[in-house]
A and B are shown apart, each in its own frame.
Chain A
């Protein structure tokens, strides 16, 4: 999409420059504001409120599920933990059997796979290019 070079002011480019400047100012401003003790305490207060409401809700749900004779979330999680422990034990048994099989056969039990040769040598390198100057860093690269 080629365009004729214009001699007048590029309105969109001015707007883009303004946006970049604004983003930097916003970031600097929020870094100062959000780092204050007052902001940190306020955020923690909201978090406390959210966590407390979640806890209340969980307790209410647990009573409801008990009343309905249904398993609670904690019971399901506990069941999941038991299954995970069984899976862990199976993994360990499998690992032990694998080691034993390797010793018996003298080679791994897996199907033979065509492995690449491991003799690659590094080529001669030149020094990597230096980065562009700080002022020329596009805003996308600052994220």
Chain B
């Protein structure tokens, strides 16, 4: 009994010494974080702009293998984030990973909307910009077919395109955390209820929806996340790798961009409030977007703990499609960890690589 107490006493003393030493390390690193020194550079994979219009850019990442798969892969970005989230830092970049696996990788980047872009509608993105970009992909690669990878709202754009142009040579579609059933959008749908949320007034006042508005809405889904994130950072401030990864992730989740006003109005009224895509009532430029007309191969990846695009909003997708080759992938993770970080490197990326490679020859 006495020995046990003595052991415990020694180990407690050791722990205190250890914590004191770590606290000194923490103090040194906290200056780096607080003063925003050594911001990790992101989006470093070499690329060329092969087409641009306004803020819209089509990038081609420089292939790094001598042989690439026949079918090029096009990332379709969301309107909420900047494109570097898929090309974070070397070793944690989905783009870099696919290049190393032998894909010819392109990215559709909508850019940061300017005040005059407030009138852009979903039709502009899906029926105009995307088809124009695909023509350039075909011209550069001299291949007719192409594949899409869409994350979050990017997946929604890709699906709308596939529904609007069922005859397009879209061979494969990987949708990641893509909402289709907006009944399942949880808090976001609750807050956007037309009984108390006047989207017209918001859009008419702001034009483009400010980035701060988007960020605070997303943060309100988990209001303690930021504070607890700081607490975990403090606990790991002595760990250089943890601090680096934290900063990369922090930059991602706080670096929102304005949302084009008219697109926001359409998105809230027709999709979030009306759930029209799910009901086969959604139209773009007079074209009915029916998911049952989508015939390409589809991989639908979703995260079980996703609080932004909940599992309930994503899981019905494959059942709505007319494709004969379709597959669901459930990942135990959240919205960010689904596509980035250790969980993605272990699960999503290899699965997408394997699934796409077989269908890209």
Q: Which residues of A contact B (CB under 8 A)?
A: 1, 3-4, 6-12, 16, 19, 22-23, 26-27, 30-31, 34-35, 40-41, 43-45, 47-48, 51, 54-55, 58, 73, 76-81, 83-84, 87-88, 91, 95, 102, 108, 115-123, 125, 128-129, 131-132, 134, 137, 140-143
Contacts and interface: CB of A to CB of B under 8 A. Distances in A.
Contact of B220 (A6, A34, A76): A34
Nearest to B117: A84
B337 interface: yes
Nearest to B69: A120
A35 B187 contact: yes
Contacts of B235: 12, 16
A102 B135 CA distance: 13
A117 to B, nearest CB: 5
A108 B235 CA distance: 57
Q: Which 5 A-B pairs have the closest CB atoms?
A: A80-B116, A8-B11, A6-B11, A122-B357, A44-B196
A116 B68 contact: yes
Interface of B: 7-12, 14-15, 18-19, 53-54, 63, 65-70, 102, 104, 114-119, 132, 135, 139, 141-143, 186-187, 190-191, 193, 196-198, 201-202, 205-207, 220-225, 228, 231-232, 235, 238, 305, 307, 331-337, 341-343, 346-347, 350-351, 354, 357-358, 360-361
Given A8-B8, A141-B333, A128 B350 contact: yes
Given A6-B11, A55-B205, A140-B341, 17 more contacts: A1-B238, A8-B8, A34-B187, A40-B190, A40-B191, A54-B205, A77-B115, A102-B139, A116-B68, A118-B70, A119-B67, A120-B70, A125-B354, A141-B337, A141-B343, A142-B334, A143-B335
B25 to A, nearest CB: 9
Contacts of A125: 354, 357
Contacts of B305: 137, 141-142
A116 B361 CA distance: 14
Contacts of A44: 191, 196-198
Contacts of B332: 131-132, 134, 137, 141
A3 B18 contact: yes
Nearest to A130: B347
A108 B63 contact: no
Nearest to B338: A141
Contact of A143 (B63, B70, B336, B342): B336
B202 A117 contact: no
B264 to A, nearest CB: 13
